C-alpha cells in the first residue's frame, strides 16, 4: 500500500466511524415478507449460523451494546430486523435469524429459512451480505449451503470471522487460511476474509470502512 492509499484508507475509516456512531435507529422487525420496509436505500444483511455473533457484530459496528438483541441462547433473532444508519438515512443494516441449530420448533425454523431465502434472492436494494463464521469452527456445511445460495442470488458477500478473541493466534491463522481457500471457489464471495472480535473491537474499524464503500456512501 502506498502512503497515499494508506492516508485515504485512514480517512475512510474515520468517516465510517463518525457515520456509524451517529444516528442508528431500529426501524422495524419483519416476521413476514409483507412487513418489509419500502426499498428506498441500500441494505446490508448479516447472515450466519445461530449464535455466531451477528447481533453482537452489529452492536460493535455501531458502538452500542444493545441496539440489536444478542443472547447466549441460539435462535435469539427471529425476524428480519432493520436498522437505519445516517441522518437522513443513507443505508440499512439487516440482522437476520441464524441458520443451523436453533432452540425453536422445526416448523418455526422452516419459516425463518423461507423468509431469509426469499429476502436474499429477491431484494433489489440488497447490495451486500456478510456471512459470519465462528473463528473456532471454520466453515460448516450449512455455511457452504448459504454461500452457494448467495452465489446463485448473485449478491456479493464478505466472509467475516467472529469471536477471534476466543482462539489462539496460531489456530486462528490456520482457520482463516482454510476459509480463504474455500471462499475463492465461490463466485460471489470477496477474496478478503475479515477477522473480527466484537468483544475486543478487533477488525471493526476496517469492516465499517468496507461497508461504507459497499453502501456507496
Ligand X SMILES: Nc1nc2c(ncn2[C@@H]2O[C@H](COP(=O)(O)OP(=O)(O)OP(=O)(O)O)[C@@H](O)[C@H]2O)c(=O)[nH]1
CB of 212: closest distance to ligand X in angstroms?
21
CA–CA separation, 76 and 98 (whole Å)? 8
158 to 197: interface string for ligand X, x by CB under 6 A:
----xx-xx------------------------------x
Considering the rule CB under 6 A, would residue 206 count as an interface residue with ligand X?
Answer: no
Q: Which residue is nearest to ligand X (CB)?
A: 98
Helix (H, G, I), strand (E, B) or coil at 38: coil
Pick 47 or 209: Cβ nearer Mg ion: 47
Binding track, positions 53-92, relative to Mg ion; x by CB under 5 A: -xx--------------------xx---------------
Q: Give CA separation, 15 vs 20, 46, 178, 213, in Å.
A: 9, 22, 32, 11
CA 83 to CA 215: how far, in whole Å?
14
CB of 69 to ligand X, least distance (A): 7
Contacted entry of ligand X, Mg ion, none for residue 199, CB cut-off 5 to 8 Å set by kind:
ligand X
Q: Please identify, among the stretches 5-13, 64-72, 86-94, 104-112, the one whose residues bind ligand X according to the rule CB under 6 A.
A: 64-72
81 is a site residue for ligand X (CB under 6 A)? no
Do the Cβ atoms of 62 and 17 come closer than 8 Å? no
Which part of the chain contacts ligand X (CB under 6 A), choosing from 114-122, 139-147, 157-165, 167-175? 157-165
Residue 77 binds ligand X, judged by CB under 6 A: yes
Q: How far does Cα 64 stand from its chain's mean position?
A: 16
HSE-CB for 185 with a 13 A CA cutoff: 7
Using the CB atoms, write b or e for 178-212: b if 16+ within 10 Å: ebeebbeebebbbeebbbbbbeeebbbbbbbbbbb
Nearer Cβ to ligand X, position 16 or 53? 53
4 vs 1, 8, 198, 209, CA distance in Å? 8, 6, 29, 16
Of residues 95 and 214, the one with the C-beta less far from ligand X = 95
Of 55 and 135, the one with the shorter C-beta distance to Mg ion is 55
Q: How many residues does the chain have?
A: 217
Instruction: Give how many residues touch ligand X by CB under 6 A.
Output: 24
Nearest by Cα to 105 from 78, 145, 70: 78
The residues binding ligand X (CB under 6 A) are 48, 50-56, 70-72, 74-77, 97-98, 162-163, 165-166, 197-199
Amino acid at each position: 500500500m502506498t502512503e497515499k492509499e494508506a492516508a485515504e484508507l485512514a480517512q475512510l475509516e474515520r468517516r465510517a466511524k463518525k457515520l456509524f456512531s451517529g444516528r442508528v435507529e431500529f426501524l422495524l422487525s419483519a416476521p413476514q415478507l409483507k412487513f418489509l420496509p419500502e426499498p428506498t436505500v441500500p441494505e446490508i444483511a448479516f447472515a450466519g449460523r445461530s449464535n455466531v455473533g451477528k447481533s453482537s457484530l452489529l452492536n460493535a459496528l455501531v458502538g452500542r451494546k444493545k441496539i440489536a438483541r444478542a443472547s447466549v441462547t441460539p435462535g435469539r433473532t427471529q425476524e428480519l430486523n432493520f436498522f437505519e444508519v445516517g441522518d437522513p438515512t443513507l443505508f440499512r443494516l439487516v440482522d437476520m435469524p441464524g441458520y443451523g441449530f436453533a432452540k425453536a420448533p422445526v416448523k418455526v425454523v422452516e419459516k425463518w429459512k423461507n423468509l431469509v431465502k426469499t429476502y436474499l434472492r429477491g431484494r433489489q436494494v440488497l447490495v451486500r451480505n456478510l456471512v459470519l463464521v465462528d473463528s473456532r469452527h471454520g466453515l460448516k456445511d450449512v455455511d457452504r449451503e448459504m454461500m452457494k445460495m448467495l452465489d446463485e442470488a448473485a449478491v456479493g458477500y464478505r466472509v467475516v470471522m467472529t469471536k477471534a478473541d476466543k482462539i489462539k493466534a496460531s489456530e486462528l491463522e490456520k482457520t482463516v487460511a482454510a476459509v480463504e481457500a474455500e471462499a475463492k471457489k465461490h463466485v460471489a464471495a470477496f477474496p478478503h476474509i475479515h477477522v473480527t472480535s466484537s468483544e475486543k473491537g478487533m477488525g471493526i474499524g476496517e469492516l465499517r470502512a468496507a461497508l461504507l464503500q459497499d453502501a456507496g456512501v
